[in-house]
Protein backbone atom coordinates (compact mmCIF):
# COMPACT_ATOMS: atom_id res chain seq x y z
CA UNK A 1 0.00 0.00 0.00
CA UNK A 2 2.86 2.38 0.81
CA UNK A 3 4.51 1.93 -2.59
CA UNK A 4 1.15 2.24 -4.35
CA UNK A 5 0.36 5.57 -2.68
CA UNK A 6 3.77 7.06 -3.43
CA UNK A 7 3.60 5.87 -7.02
CA UNK A 8 0.14 7.40 -7.50
CA UNK A 9 1.16 10.70 -5.92
CA UNK A 10 4.28 10.84 -8.13
CA UNK A 11 2.22 10.41 -11.29
CA UNK A 12 -0.32 13.08 -10.32
CA UNK A 13 2.38 15.50 -9.23
CA UNK A 14 4.52 15.16 -12.35
CA UNK A 15 1.62 15.38 -14.79
CA UNK A 16 0.56 18.51 -12.97
CA UNK A 17 4.14 19.79 -13.08
CA UNK A 18 4.15 19.35 -16.85
CA UNK A 19 0.95 21.39 -17.14
CA UNK A 20 2.44 24.20 -15.03
CA UNK A 21 5.69 24.03 -17.01
CA UNK A 22 3.86 24.48 -20.32
CA UNK A 23 1.89 27.43 -18.97
CA UNK A 24 5.08 29.00 -17.63
CA UNK A 25 6.89 28.61 -20.96
CA UNK A 26 3.99 30.22 -22.77
CA UNK A 27 3.85 33.06 -20.28
CA UNK A 28 0.31 32.11 -19.29
CA UNK A 29 0.58 31.81 -15.52
CA UNK A 30 -2.45 34.02 -15.00
CA UNK A 31 -5.42 31.99 -13.89
CA UNK A 32 -3.31 29.50 -11.95
CA UNK A 33 -3.41 29.37 -8.16
CA UNK A 34 -0.81 31.26 -6.17
CA UNK A 35 1.03 28.01 -5.41
CA UNK A 36 1.01 26.91 -9.07
CA UNK A 37 2.24 30.32 -10.22
CA UNK A 38 5.07 30.17 -7.66
CA UNK A 39 6.07 26.71 -8.90
CA UNK A 40 5.98 27.91 -12.52
CA UNK A 41 8.30 30.82 -11.85
CA UNK A 42 10.72 28.62 -9.92
CA UNK A 43 10.76 26.08 -12.76
CA UNK A 44 11.63 28.86 -15.21
CA UNK A 45 14.44 30.01 -12.89
CA UNK A 46 15.83 26.46 -12.89
CA UNK A 47 15.24 25.65 -16.55
CA UNK A 48 18.92 25.88 -17.42
CA UNK A 49 19.61 22.98 -15.03
CA UNK A 50 16.46 20.85 -15.26
CA UNK A 51 15.03 21.66 -18.70
CA UNK A 52 14.80 18.04 -19.90
CA UNK A 53 13.22 16.81 -16.67
CA UNK A 54 10.56 19.52 -16.80
CA UNK A 55 10.00 19.16 -20.55
CA UNK A 56 9.31 15.44 -20.27
CA UNK A 57 7.82 15.39 -16.77
CA UNK A 58 4.54 13.95 -18.09
CA UNK A 59 6.32 10.79 -19.21
CA UNK A 60 8.67 10.59 -16.23
CA UNK A 61 6.06 9.50 -13.68
CA UNK A 62 7.84 6.17 -13.24
CA UNK A 63 11.33 7.71 -12.97
CA UNK A 64 12.86 7.06 -9.55
CA UNK A 65 15.48 9.42 -8.13
CA UNK A 66 17.96 7.93 -5.68
CA UNK A 67 18.06 10.39 -2.74
CA UNK A 68 21.56 9.17 -1.86
CA UNK A 69 23.17 10.06 -5.19
CA UNK A 70 21.04 12.43 -7.28
CA UNK A 71 18.83 15.48 -7.03
CA UNK A 72 15.12 15.08 -7.59
CA UNK A 73 14.31 18.26 -9.60
CA UNK A 74 10.61 18.10 -8.72
CA UNK A 75 11.35 17.86 -5.00
CA UNK A 76 13.90 20.66 -5.42
CA UNK A 77 11.27 22.94 -6.92
CA UNK A 78 8.71 22.09 -4.23
CA UNK A 79 11.23 22.74 -1.45
CA UNK A 80 12.23 26.00 -3.13
CA UNK A 81 8.59 27.06 -3.24
CA UNK A 82 8.03 26.03 0.37
CA UNK A 83 11.04 28.01 1.56
CA UNK A 84 9.95 31.10 -0.38
CA UNK A 85 6.44 30.86 1.01
CA UNK A 86 7.72 30.53 4.58
CA UNK A 87 9.73 33.71 4.18
CA UNK A 88 6.91 35.58 2.46
CA UNK A 89 4.25 34.52 4.97
CA UNK A 90 6.65 34.68 7.94
CA UNK A 91 5.32 31.26 8.91
CA UNK A 92 7.14 30.05 10.83
CA UNK A 93 8.53 33.40 11.93
CA UNK A 94 11.90 31.74 12.54
CA UNK A 95 12.28 31.21 8.77
CA UNK A 96 11.83 34.94 8.15
CA UNK A 97 14.29 35.77 10.95
CA UNK A 98 16.84 33.29 9.57
CA UNK A 99 16.39 34.75 6.08
CA UNK A 100 17.10 38.32 7.25
CA UNK A 101 20.05 37.22 9.38
CA UNK A 102 21.68 35.47 6.41
CA UNK A 103 21.11 38.50 4.14
CA UNK A 104 22.95 40.60 6.72
CA UNK A 105 25.78 38.07 6.46
CA UNK A 106 26.21 38.96 2.77
CA UNK A 107 24.29 35.99 1.34
CA UNK A 108 22.25 36.47 -1.82
CA UNK A 109 18.51 35.84 -1.72
CA UNK A 110 18.93 32.64 -3.74
CA UNK A 111 21.68 31.40 -1.43
CA UNK A 112 19.51 31.98 1.64
CA UNK A 113 16.57 30.14 0.10
CA UNK A 114 18.84 27.19 -0.62
CA UNK A 115 20.12 27.20 2.97
CA UNK A 116 16.52 27.14 4.17
CA UNK A 117 15.78 24.27 1.81
CA UNK A 118 18.72 22.29 3.15
CA UNK A 119 17.56 22.70 6.75
CA UNK A 120 14.01 21.84 5.73
CA UNK A 121 15.23 18.71 3.94
CA UNK A 122 17.04 17.61 7.12
CA UNK A 123 13.61 17.04 8.66
CA UNK A 124 11.91 15.75 5.52
CA UNK A 125 14.58 13.32 4.31
CA UNK A 126 13.99 10.53 6.89
CA UNK A 127 10.25 10.66 6.12
CA UNK A 128 10.78 10.59 2.35
CA UNK A 129 13.37 7.83 2.61
CA UNK A 130 11.47 5.55 4.98
CA UNK A 131 8.00 6.66 3.85
CA UNK A 132 6.70 7.15 7.37
CA UNK A 133 6.67 9.59 10.28
CA UNK A 134 5.62 13.19 10.64
CA UNK A 135 7.35 16.53 10.21
CA UNK A 136 8.72 17.92 13.49
CA UNK A 137 7.86 21.61 13.12
CA UNK A 138 9.11 22.52 16.59
CA UNK A 139 12.49 20.92 15.92
CA UNK A 140 12.75 22.78 12.61
CA UNK A 141 11.91 26.09 14.29
CA UNK A 142 14.45 25.52 17.06
CA UNK A 143 17.20 24.75 14.55
CA UNK A 144 16.46 27.94 12.62
CA UNK A 145 16.71 29.88 15.89
CA UNK A 146 20.12 28.36 16.58
CA UNK A 147 21.50 28.80 13.06
CA UNK A 148 20.46 32.40 12.46
CA UNK A 149 23.44 33.52 14.55
CA UNK A 150 25.91 31.21 12.78
CA UNK A 151 28.14 32.03 9.83
CA UNK A 152 26.51 30.93 6.55
CA UNK A 153 29.56 28.96 5.46
CA UNK A 154 29.43 26.90 8.67
CA UNK A 155 25.77 25.90 8.48
CA UNK A 156 26.13 22.89 6.16
CA UNK A 157 28.90 21.47 8.33
CA UNK A 158 26.83 22.01 11.49
CA UNK A 159 23.80 20.42 9.88
CA UNK A 160 25.79 17.29 9.11
CA UNK A 161 26.54 16.85 12.82
CA UNK A 162 22.90 17.24 13.89
CA UNK A 163 21.14 14.01 14.92
CA UNK A 164 18.39 12.81 12.62
CA UNK A 165 14.85 13.78 13.69
CA UNK A 166 13.10 11.00 15.57
CA UNK A 167 10.73 8.84 13.56
CA UNK A 168 9.13 5.47 14.10
CA UNK A 169 11.33 2.38 13.61
CA UNK A 170 10.78 -0.23 10.94
CA UNK A 171 9.84 -2.73 13.63
CA UNK A 172 6.84 -0.71 14.70
CA UNK A 173 3.73 -2.55 13.53
CA UNK A 174 1.93 0.76 13.07
CA UNK A 175 4.55 2.33 10.81
CA UNK A 176 2.45 1.95 7.66
CA UNK A 177 -0.92 2.92 9.08
CA UNK A 178 -0.64 6.58 8.15
CA UNK A 179 -0.22 5.72 4.46
CA UNK A 180 -3.12 3.30 4.59
CA UNK A 181 -5.25 6.04 6.14
CA UNK A 182 -4.20 8.54 3.46
CA UNK A 183 -4.89 6.03 0.70
CA UNK A 184 -8.33 5.20 2.06
CA UNK A 185 -9.20 8.85 2.65
CA UNK A 186 -8.07 9.95 -0.83
CA UNK A 187 -9.85 7.13 -2.64
CA UNK A 188 -12.53 8.59 -4.86
CA UNK A 189 -11.46 12.21 -4.21
CA UNK A 190 -11.15 14.54 -7.18
CA UNK A 191 -8.89 17.47 -6.35
CA UNK A 192 -8.87 20.43 -8.72
CA UNK A 193 -5.58 21.91 -7.45
CA UNK A 194 -2.55 21.22 -5.30
CA UNK A 195 -3.91 23.62 -2.69
CA UNK A 196 -7.19 21.72 -2.43
CA UNK A 197 -5.37 18.40 -1.98
CA UNK A 198 -3.02 19.94 0.58
CA UNK A 199 -5.93 21.37 2.57
CA UNK A 200 -7.56 17.94 2.65
CA UNK A 201 -4.35 16.24 3.82
CA UNK A 202 -3.67 18.97 6.40
CA UNK A 203 -7.07 18.36 7.99
CA UNK A 204 -6.52 14.60 7.94
CA UNK A 205 -3.08 14.89 9.56
CA UNK A 206 -4.31 17.41 12.15
CA UNK A 207 -6.94 14.94 13.30
CA UNK A 208 -4.48 12.06 13.38
CA UNK A 209 -1.86 14.05 15.28
CA UNK A 210 -4.45 14.91 17.93
CA UNK A 211 -5.34 11.24 18.59
CA UNK A 212 -3.94 9.67 21.77
CA UNK A 213 -1.19 7.06 21.42
CA UNK A 214 -0.94 4.14 23.90
CA UNK A 215 2.88 4.12 23.79
CA UNK A 216 2.80 7.77 24.90
CA UNK A 217 0.47 6.88 27.80
CA UNK A 218 -2.45 8.58 26.14
CA UNK A 219 -0.65 11.68 24.88
CA UNK A 220 -1.05 12.65 21.24
CA UNK A 221 1.73 13.24 18.71
CA UNK A 222 1.14 16.98 19.00
CA UNK A 223 1.44 16.87 22.77
CA UNK A 224 4.60 14.77 22.56
CA UNK A 225 6.12 17.27 20.13
CA UNK A 226 5.43 20.07 22.58
CA UNK A 227 7.01 18.13 25.44
CA UNK A 228 10.11 17.42 23.36
CA UNK A 229 10.61 20.75 21.62
CA UNK A 230 8.85 23.36 23.77
CA UNK A 231 8.98 22.03 27.34
CA UNK A 232 8.79 25.54 28.77
CA UNK A 233 6.29 26.83 26.22
CA UNK A 234 3.39 25.00 24.60
CA UNK A 235 2.69 22.47 27.36
CA UNK A 236 0.07 24.22 29.50
CA UNK A 237 -2.57 21.67 28.44
CA UNK A 238 -0.38 18.93 29.92
CA UNK A 239 1.50 20.37 32.87
CA UNK A 240 2.28 23.60 34.69
CA UNK A 241 5.32 24.21 36.90
CA UNK A 242 4.17 25.47 40.28
CA UNK A 243 5.68 28.60 41.75
CA UNK A 244 4.25 27.75 45.14
CA UNK A 245 7.50 26.29 46.46
CA UNK A 246 8.59 27.16 49.99
CA UNK A 247 12.05 28.09 51.23
CA UNK A 248 12.24 24.65 52.87
CA UNK A 249 11.35 22.99 49.55
CA UNK A 250 14.13 24.81 47.71
CA UNK A 251 16.86 24.46 50.32
CA UNK A 252 16.22 20.73 50.57
CA UNK A 253 17.16 20.15 46.92
CA UNK A 254 20.68 18.66 46.62
CA UNK A 255 21.70 20.73 43.61
CA UNK A 256 20.46 23.94 45.24
CA UNK A 257 22.42 23.18 48.43
CA UNK A 258 25.60 22.66 46.43
CA UNK A 259 25.08 25.74 44.26
CA UNK A 260 24.46 28.03 47.24
CA UNK A 261 27.46 26.73 49.18
CA UNK A 262 29.71 26.97 46.11
CA UNK A 263 28.75 30.58 45.43
CA UNK A 264 28.91 31.70 49.07
CA UNK A 265 32.43 30.27 49.47
CA UNK A 266 33.51 31.74 46.14
CA UNK A 267 32.13 35.10 47.28
CA UNK A 268 34.27 34.90 50.41
CA UNK A 269 37.45 33.86 48.59
CA UNK A 270 37.18 35.72 45.26
CA UNK A 271 39.04 36.30 43.10
CA UNK A 272 40.03 32.63 43.12
CA UNK A 273 42.99 31.85 40.91
CA UNK A 274 42.48 28.93 38.52
CA UNK A 275 44.99 26.15 38.03
CA UNK A 276 47.22 26.01 34.97
CA UNK A 277 44.54 23.88 33.29
CA UNK A 278 41.84 26.41 34.12
CA UNK A 279 40.22 24.34 36.87
CA UNK A 280 39.20 25.25 40.41
CA UNK A 281 42.16 25.46 42.81
CA UNK A 282 42.90 22.23 44.67
CA UNK A 283 41.93 23.47 48.15
CA UNK A 284 38.53 24.72 46.99
CA UNK A 285 37.88 21.55 44.96
CA UNK A 286 38.75 19.35 47.94
CA UNK A 287 36.51 21.35 50.25
CA UNK A 288 33.55 20.96 47.89
CA UNK A 289 34.30 17.27 47.31
CA UNK A 290 34.52 16.49 51.04
CA UNK A 291 31.31 18.37 51.81
CA UNK A 292 29.35 17.03 48.82
CA UNK A 293 31.00 13.73 47.79
CA UNK A 294 30.29 12.46 44.30
CA UNK A 295 29.40 9.04 45.69
CA UNK A 296 27.87 9.18 49.17
CA UNK A 297 28.51 5.48 49.76
CA UNK A 298 32.15 5.59 48.64
CA UNK A 299 34.56 8.28 49.84
CA UNK A 300 37.86 9.02 48.17
CA UNK A 301 40.29 11.91 48.07
CA UNK A 302 40.91 14.04 45.01
CA UNK A 303 43.89 15.98 43.75
CA UNK A 304 42.00 18.18 41.28
CA UNK A 305 38.54 19.20 40.13
CA UNK A 306 38.86 16.80 37.18
CA UNK A 307 38.64 13.83 39.55
CA UNK A 308 35.14 14.84 40.70
CA UNK A 309 32.84 14.95 37.68
CA UNK A 310 29.90 16.22 39.77
CA UNK A 311 31.89 19.22 40.98
CA UNK A 312 33.18 19.93 37.48
CA UNK A 313 29.62 19.77 36.16
CA UNK A 314 28.41 22.11 38.92
CA UNK A 315 31.00 24.70 37.96
CA UNK A 316 29.91 24.59 34.33
CA UNK A 317 26.22 24.77 35.28
CA UNK A 318 26.77 27.87 37.45
CA UNK A 319 28.77 29.45 34.64
CA UNK A 320 25.98 28.69 32.14
CA UNK A 321 23.47 30.17 34.57
CA UNK A 322 25.46 33.40 34.52
CA UNK A 323 26.21 33.30 38.25
CA UNK A 324 29.98 32.75 38.17
CA UNK A 325 32.68 33.68 35.69
CA UNK A 326 36.32 33.10 34.92
CA UNK A 327 38.30 36.07 33.67
CA UNK A 328 42.07 36.26 33.38
CA UNK A 329 42.35 32.80 34.99
CA UNK A 330 40.41 33.97 38.08
CA UNK A 331 37.02 32.75 39.29
CA UNK A 332 34.52 35.17 40.79
CA UNK A 333 30.80 35.80 41.13
CA UNK A 334 28.99 37.79 38.47
CA UNK A 335 26.69 40.62 39.50
CA UNK A 336 23.74 38.26 39.14
CA UNK A 337 25.52 35.64 41.21
CA UNK A 338 26.25 38.21 43.91
CA UNK A 339 22.55 39.09 44.01
CA UNK A 340 21.63 35.40 44.46
CA UNK A 341 24.08 35.09 47.36
CA UNK A 342 23.02 38.31 49.09
CA UNK A 343 19.27 37.77 48.89
CA UNK A 344 17.27 34.72 49.79
CA UNK A 345 17.40 32.01 47.11
CA UNK A 346 13.91 32.15 45.58
CA UNK A 347 11.63 30.44 43.10
CA UNK A 348 12.88 32.55 40.18
CA UNK A 349 16.44 31.50 40.95
CA UNK A 350 15.40 27.85 41.19
CA UNK A 351 13.62 27.77 37.85
CA UNK A 352 16.51 29.60 36.21
CA UNK A 353 18.83 26.89 37.53
CA UNK A 354 16.35 24.19 36.51
CA UNK A 355 16.04 25.49 32.94
CA UNK A 356 19.81 25.90 32.65
CA UNK A 357 20.27 22.27 33.67
CA UNK A 358 17.77 20.80 31.22
CA UNK A 359 18.31 23.12 28.25
CA UNK A 360 21.94 24.20 28.28
CA UNK A 361 23.98 21.71 30.28
CA UNK A 362 24.90 18.56 28.34
CA UNK A 363 23.79 15.50 30.34
CA UNK A 364 26.39 13.36 28.56
CA UNK A 365 29.13 15.43 30.25
CA UNK A 366 29.50 13.05 33.20
CA UNK A 367 29.31 9.60 31.59
CA UNK A 368 30.79 7.45 28.85
CA UNK A 369 27.54 6.48 27.15
CA UNK A 370 26.84 7.49 23.55
CA UNK A 371 24.99 10.73 22.95
CA UNK A 372 21.40 9.36 23.27
CA UNK A 373 20.15 12.95 23.23
CA UNK A 374 16.54 11.84 23.50
CA UNK A 375 17.02 11.08 27.21
CA UNK A 376 17.65 14.76 27.92
CA UNK A 377 15.31 16.06 25.24
CA UNK A 378 12.51 13.86 26.56
CA UNK A 379 12.94 14.79 30.23
CA UNK A 380 9.43 16.22 30.56
CA UNK A 381 7.82 13.13 29.05
CA UNK A 382 9.86 11.01 31.45
CA UNK A 383 8.51 13.16 34.29
CA UNK A 384 5.05 12.33 32.94
CA UNK A 385 6.05 8.65 33.16
CA UNK A 386 6.94 9.22 36.82
CA UNK A 387 3.60 10.92 37.40
CA UNK A 388 1.76 7.96 35.94
CA UNK A 389 3.93 5.10 37.20
CA UNK A 390 5.92 6.12 40.29
CA UNK A 391 3.36 7.31 42.82
CA UNK A 392 4.01 3.91 44.34
CA UNK A 393 7.32 2.07 44.03
CA UNK A 394 8.48 1.00 40.58
CA UNK A 395 11.81 -0.47 39.50
CA UNK A 396 14.26 1.44 37.36
CA UNK A 397 14.00 -1.30 34.75
CA UNK A 398 10.20 -1.02 34.51
CA UNK A 399 10.35 2.74 34.07
CA UNK A 400 13.15 2.58 31.50
CA UNK A 401 11.15 -0.01 29.54
CA UNK A 402 8.28 2.49 29.32
CA UNK A 403 10.73 5.06 27.96
CA UNK A 404 12.07 2.63 25.33
CA UNK A 405 8.54 1.68 24.29
CA UNK A 406 7.75 5.35 23.70
CA UNK A 407 11.00 5.95 21.77
CA UNK A 408 11.93 2.61 20.14
CA UNK A 409 14.29 4.35 17.71
CA UNK A 410 16.67 4.91 20.63
CA UNK A 411 17.67 1.25 20.25
CA UNK A 412 19.01 2.01 16.79
CA UNK A 413 21.47 4.62 18.06
CA UNK A 414 24.00 1.96 19.03
CA UNK A 415 25.41 -0.70 16.72
CA UNK A 416 25.77 -3.88 18.77
CA UNK A 417 25.81 -7.59 18.01
CA UNK A 418 22.96 -8.48 20.36
CA UNK A 419 19.75 -6.45 20.79
CA UNK A 420 19.71 -7.19 24.54
CA UNK A 421 23.05 -5.43 24.92
CA UNK A 422 21.59 -2.32 23.33
CA UNK A 423 18.55 -2.38 25.61
CA UNK A 424 20.74 -2.76 28.69
CA UNK A 425 22.90 0.18 27.58
CA UNK A 426 19.85 2.42 27.09
CA UNK A 427 18.35 1.35 30.43
CA UNK A 428 21.57 2.16 32.28
CA UNK A 429 21.99 5.49 30.48
CA UNK A 430 18.38 6.38 31.35
CA UNK A 431 18.98 5.40 34.97
CA UNK A 432 22.15 7.47 35.32
CA UNK A 433 21.15 10.58 33.37
CA UNK A 434 17.47 10.94 34.11
CA UNK A 435 16.79 9.15 37.40
CA UNK A 436 20.00 9.72 39.40
CA UNK A 437 21.60 12.85 37.96
CA UNK A 438 18.41 14.74 37.19
CA UNK A 439 15.50 13.51 39.33
CA UNK A 440 17.42 12.60 42.47
CA UNK A 441 19.71 15.66 42.11
CA UNK A 442 16.61 17.88 42.05
CA UNK A 443 14.91 16.01 44.89
CA UNK A 444 12.14 14.67 42.67
CA UNK A 445 12.52 10.95 43.49
CA UNK A 446 13.81 8.75 46.26
CA UNK A 447 15.76 5.65 45.28
CA UNK A 448 15.82 2.50 47.40
CA UNK A 449 19.28 1.10 46.81
CA UNK A 450 20.14 -2.45 47.80
CA UNK A 451 23.68 -3.71 48.14
CA UNK A 452 24.46 -6.47 45.67
CA UNK A 453 21.52 -5.59 43.39
CA UNK A 454 21.71 -4.16 39.88
CA UNK A 455 20.77 -0.48 39.61
CA UNK A 456 17.95 -1.60 37.30
CA UNK A 457 16.41 -3.50 40.19
CA UNK A 458 16.39 -0.49 42.51
CA UNK A 459 12.95 0.81 43.46
CA UNK A 460 12.06 4.47 43.20
CA UNK A 461 9.07 6.69 43.81
CA UNK A 462 8.27 10.37 43.43
CA UNK A 463 8.68 12.77 46.36
CA UNK A 464 6.22 15.33 47.76
CA UNK A 465 8.32 17.99 46.01
CA UNK A 466 7.63 16.33 42.63
CA UNK A 467 3.88 16.37 43.26
CA UNK A 468 4.06 19.97 44.44
CA UNK A 469 6.24 21.18 41.57
CA UNK A 470 4.48 19.50 38.62
CA UNK A 471 0.77 20.33 38.26
CA UNK A 472 -0.43 17.76 35.73
CA UNK A 473 -3.60 18.40 33.72
CA UNK A 474 -3.89 14.80 32.57
CA UNK A 475 -4.60 11.85 34.79
CA UNK A 476 -5.26 8.15 34.43
CA UNK A 477 -2.47 6.19 32.77
CA UNK A 478 -3.25 4.77 29.38
CA UNK A 479 -1.38 2.16 27.35
CA UNK A 480 1.87 0.44 28.20
Element (H or E) spanning 429, and its range?
Answer: helix 419-430
pLDDT at 291: 93
Of 109-118, 168-177, 436-445, the least confident: 168-177
Reply yes or no on whether the pLDDT at 112 is more than 60.
yes
Summarize pLDDT for 334-347 with one digit per residue, the tens.
Answer: 999 999 999 989 99
Task: Over range 449-470, report the average pLDDT.
Answer: 91
Cα dihedral sign for 191, 78, 41, 140? positive
Q: Could you tell me the end-to-end alpha-carbon distance of the chain, in angstroms, rounded to an integer?
A: 28
Task: Over range 406-426, report the average pLDDT.
Answer: 69
Identify which has the larger pLDDT, 92 or 350.
Answer: 350
pLDDT at 311: 94
Fold held by 247-361: Arc Repressor Mutant, subunit A (1.10.10)
Summarize pLDDT for 20-47 with one digit per residue, the tens.
Answer: 888 888 888 777 777 788 888 888 888 8
Summarize pLDDT for 190-235 with one digit per residue, the tens.
Answer: 666 666 666 776 676 667 677 778 888 888 888 888 888 888 887 8
Reply yes or no on whether the pLDDT at 177 is more than 70.
no
Question: pTM of the entire structure?
Answer: 0.62
pLDDT at 23: 87
CA–CA distances in Å: residue 333 to residues 340, 359, 455 = 10, 22, 38
Cβ–Cβ < 8 Å for 338, 268:
no
The CATH class given to the 364-472 domain equals mainly alpha
Domain ranges of the chain: 2-214, 247-361, 364-472
- Band of residue 133 on the pLDDT scale cut at 50, 70, 90: low
Separation between Cα atoms, residue 132 and residue 127, nearest integer Å: 5
Fold equal for 247-361 and 364-472:
yes
Amino acid sequence: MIDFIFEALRKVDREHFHHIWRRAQEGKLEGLTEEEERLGNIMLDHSDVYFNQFEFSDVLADREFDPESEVNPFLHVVLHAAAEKQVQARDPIEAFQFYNAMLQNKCSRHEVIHLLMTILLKFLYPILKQKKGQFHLDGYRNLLKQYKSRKPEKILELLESEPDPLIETEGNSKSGQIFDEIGAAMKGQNFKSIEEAQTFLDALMAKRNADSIPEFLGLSSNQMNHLLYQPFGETSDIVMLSRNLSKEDLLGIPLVKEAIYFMKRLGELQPLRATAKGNLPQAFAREMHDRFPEHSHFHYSIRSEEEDSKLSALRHILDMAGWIKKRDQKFSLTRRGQDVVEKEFGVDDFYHLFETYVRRFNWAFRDLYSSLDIIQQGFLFSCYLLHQKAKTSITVKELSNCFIQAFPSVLGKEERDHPMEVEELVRHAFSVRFIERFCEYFGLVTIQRKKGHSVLDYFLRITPLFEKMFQWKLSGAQGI
